[in-house]
């Protein structure tokens, strides 16, 4: 398709939300172009830890359904991890209990209280999708191309630019929505990670400190161990902080001592596009067109990507939300 011929839908934003939405639309037969400000491997999505779990995202009454729809897709994609980047991996959410979760938790197969051997205190044991985001983003782009869609490296300065070239536009601009819409309720939540050599860990671990922005997570990804992290509201800095990196490694080493001597491979920082609640709605434009918003997913973009993509595509087709 490239940049020629008729375009039915332009998706603004080339992260996991934008690419997944574009795939959903293209596989429904729409001629889709993605306008991406930067290559997918340079987006916030590429920095994400990649563990499926509804995290820091509202509205609660819809997040469960979006997450479960996505979970069902990832469980199928995990049959081909080399291509899709999706694996099903066991692990523990420390300081978490079933009664503290929404109704969606009852539909997650195998989710149970952790034993004393699995977790020092209260926690949940689960087998969840763990997604190698750089690999998954490449796979999404190839799946889009196979469905006839295209990705164009282009910065949208106004959404009207896209509406001038296609009757329907889906705004998946993430943090960019702050200026594009404009929407002042969109804020960065800075996350810093440390990548180290994996000393042999096969399970993931997470723990949140409710008294601070610090989190502790250990995610075994192909060729590396991802250690985190932070959740600094309103912080726009993309520079890794050496003191924060040392603190991350120290927290993770308290859980798994062998991490203390693991060789550091690199540092990553991403700005999660936070909002009080996901904006997923349709604005009619022109006689038959629409501007559909699909942004504000915070740190749970990969968790809800397929569920939100389906809902956004339904809105493009002017179907009522389920």
Write out the binding residues for D-dopa.
Answer: 217, 272, 299
- Which residues are part of a known binding site? 44-45, 217, 272, 298-303
* Closest to 106 (Cα-Cα) out of 73, 70, 68, 50: 68
Instruction: Report how far residue 256's alpha carbon sits from residue 138's, in angstroms, rounded to the nearest whole number.
Output: 32
Instruction: Report how far residue 60's alpha carbon sits from residue 107's, in angstroms, rounded to the nearest whole number.
Output: 15
Omega before 182 cis (within 30°)?
Answer: yes
Contact 52, 67 (CB under 8 A): yes
Per-residue DSSP letter, 174 = G
Instruction: Report how far residue 187's alpha carbon sits from residue 174's, in angstroms, rounded to the nearest whole number.
Output: 10
Beta strand 214-221 pairing with 224-230? antiparallel
Q: How many CA atoms lie within 13 A of 178 on its CB side?
A: 15
- Which residues are part of a known binding site for FAD? 44-45, 298-303
Neighbours of 275 (CB within 10 A): 20
Q: What angle do CA 44, 105, 132 make, to 5 degrees?
A: 30
Name residues whose C-beta falls within 8 Å of residue 160's C-beta, 6 or more positions apart in sequence: none
Instruction: Report how far residue 293's alpha carbon sits from residue 177's, in angstroms, rounded to the nearest whole number.
Output: 9
Beta strand 214-221 pairing with 204-208? antiparallel
* Closest to 187 (Cα-Cα) out of 279, 268, 296: 296
Instruction: Report how far residue 3's alpha carbon sits from residue 144's, in angstroms, rounded to the nearest whole number.
Output: 14
Chain mean position to CA 123: 23
3-state secondary structure of 45: helix
């Amino acid at each position: 398709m490239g940049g020629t011929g008729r375009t039915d839908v332009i998706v603004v934003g080339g992260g996991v939300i934008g690419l997944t939405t574009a795939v959903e639309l293209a596989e429904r037969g729409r001629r889709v172009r993605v306008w991406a400000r930067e290559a997918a491997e340079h987006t916030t999505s590429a920095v994400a830890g990649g563990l499926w779990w509804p995290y820091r995202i509202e509205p609660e009454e819809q997040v469960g359904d979006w997450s479960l729809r996505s979970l069902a897709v990832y469980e199928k994609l995990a049959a081909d991890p080399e291509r899709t980047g999706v694996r099903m991996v066991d692990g523990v959410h420390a300081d978490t209990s079933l009664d503290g979760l929404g109704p969606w938790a009852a539909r997650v197969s195998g989710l149970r209280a952790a034993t004393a051997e699995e977790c020092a205190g209260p926690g949940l044991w689960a087998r969840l999708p763990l997604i190698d985001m750089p690999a998954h983003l490449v796979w999404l782009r190839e799946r889009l191309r196979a469905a006839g869609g295209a990705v164009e490296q282009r910065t949208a300065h106004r959404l009207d630019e896209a509406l001038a070239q296609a009757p329907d536009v889906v705004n998946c601009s993430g943090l960019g929505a702050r200026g594009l819409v404009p929407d002042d309720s969109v804020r960065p939540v800075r996350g810093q990670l440390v990548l180290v050599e994996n000393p042999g860990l096969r399970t993931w671990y997470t723990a949140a400190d409710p008294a601070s922005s610090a989190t502790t997570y250990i995610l075994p990804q192909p060729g590396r161990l991802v250690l985190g992290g932070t959740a600094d509201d309103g912080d726009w800095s993309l520079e890794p902080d050496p003191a924060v990196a040392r603190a991350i490694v120290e927290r993770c080493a308290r859980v798994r001592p062998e991490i203390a001597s693991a060789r550091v491979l690199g540092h990553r920082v991403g700005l999660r596009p936070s909002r009080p609640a996901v904006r997923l709605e349709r604005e009619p434009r022109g006689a038959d067109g629409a501007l559909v918003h699909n942004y504000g997913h915070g740190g749970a973009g990969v968790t809800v990507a397929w569920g939100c993509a389906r809902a956004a595509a339904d809105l493009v087709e002017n179907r009522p939300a389920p």
